[in-house]
């Protein structure tokens, strides 16, 4: 289930942000004591921030927001819808991230039809690279930032059409989804 953060997610958020495994390719974790001090009783809610809930417990988060790639990032991504994902390590390897991200992207497709989505990840982040490919993202470019090679991927509306799509069944040539 995808839902807003609730008070009962506080410990899972702290775990997610303090985990060195989760942050291996994200610049390192935040100190746990700082998180314990600063995290509000109910973790902050933001538009596009979704808790991934499995049987009543938070296993990760998905963020859909407008990209701000910064000075080292590709200017082409600025202002586009961006997908980000963080899951607790014990939830890796079951397909939960793929299922949850696909649902979030389906929601976006219904809400903003034709909206392209961008994604950034380190090329060394093999799990993330596999997930991005599974979700239909394709490489736009690679660039160096924060001492590592970064991958800029995009999922354009055209990617939604399978190889069998054609003008007669509403394929891209027909100008609609």
Ligand X SMILES: CC(C)(COP(=O)(O)OP(=O)(O)OC[C@H]1O[C@@H](n2cnc3c(N)ncnc32)[C@H](O)[C@@H]1OP(=O)(O)O)[C@@H](O)C(=O)NCCC(=O)NCCS
**Interface contacts to ligand X, rule CB under 6 A:** 22, 25-26, 84-87, 92-98, 121, 125, 127-128, 131, 134
Q: How far is the CB of 142 from ligand X (least distance, A)?
A: 15
Least CB distance to ligand X at residue 22 (A): 4
Nearer to ligand X, 96 or 171 (CB): 96
Least distance between ligand X and beta carbon 84 (Å): 4
Considering the complex, state which of residue 92 and residue 172 has its C-beta at the smaller distance from ligand X.
92
Nearest to 69 by CA among 157, 146, 137: 146
Q: Closest approach of Cβ 24 to ligand X, in Å?
A: 7
Question: How far is Cα of residue 167 from the mean position of the Cα atoms in its chain?
Answer: 31
**Smallest distance, ligand X to C-beta of residue 134, A:** 6
Nearer to ligand X, 15 or 171 (CB): 15
Per-residue H/E/C for the chain: CEECCCHHHHHHHHHHHHCCCCCCCCCCCCCHHHHHHHCCCCCCCCCCEEEEEECCEEEEEEEEEECCCCCCCCHHHCCCEEEEEEECHHHCCCCHHHHHHHHHHHHHHHHCCCCCEEEEEECCCHHHHHHHHHCCCEEEEEEEECCEEEEEEEECHHHHCCCCCCHHHCCHHHCCC
CB of 159 or CB of 165, closer to ligand X: 159
**Residue number with CB closer to ligand X (50 or 131):** 131
Residue closest to ligand X when measured from CB atoms: 95
């Amino acid at each position: 289930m995808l839902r807003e953060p609730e008070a009962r997610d506080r410990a899972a958020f702290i775990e997610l942000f303090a985990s060195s495994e989760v942050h291996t390719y994200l610049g390192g974790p935040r100190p746990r004591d700082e998180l314990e001090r600063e995290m509000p009783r109910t973790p902050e809610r933001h538009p596009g921030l979704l808790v991934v809930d499995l049987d009543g417990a938070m296993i990760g988060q998905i963020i859909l927001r407008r990209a701000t790639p910064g000075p080292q990032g590709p200017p082409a991504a600025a202002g586009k819808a961006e997908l980000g994902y963080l899951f607790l390590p014990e939830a890796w390897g079951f397909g939960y991230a793929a299922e949850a991200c696909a649902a979030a992207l389906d929601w976006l497709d219904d809400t903003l039809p034709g909206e392209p989505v961008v994604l950034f990840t380190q090329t060394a982040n093999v799990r993330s690279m596999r997930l991005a490919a599974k979700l239909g993202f394709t490489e736009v470019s690679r660039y160096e930032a924060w001492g590592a090679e970064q991958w800029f991927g995009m999922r354009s509306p055209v990617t939604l059409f399978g190889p069998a799509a054609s003008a007669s069944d509403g394929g891209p040539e027909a100008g609609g989804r």
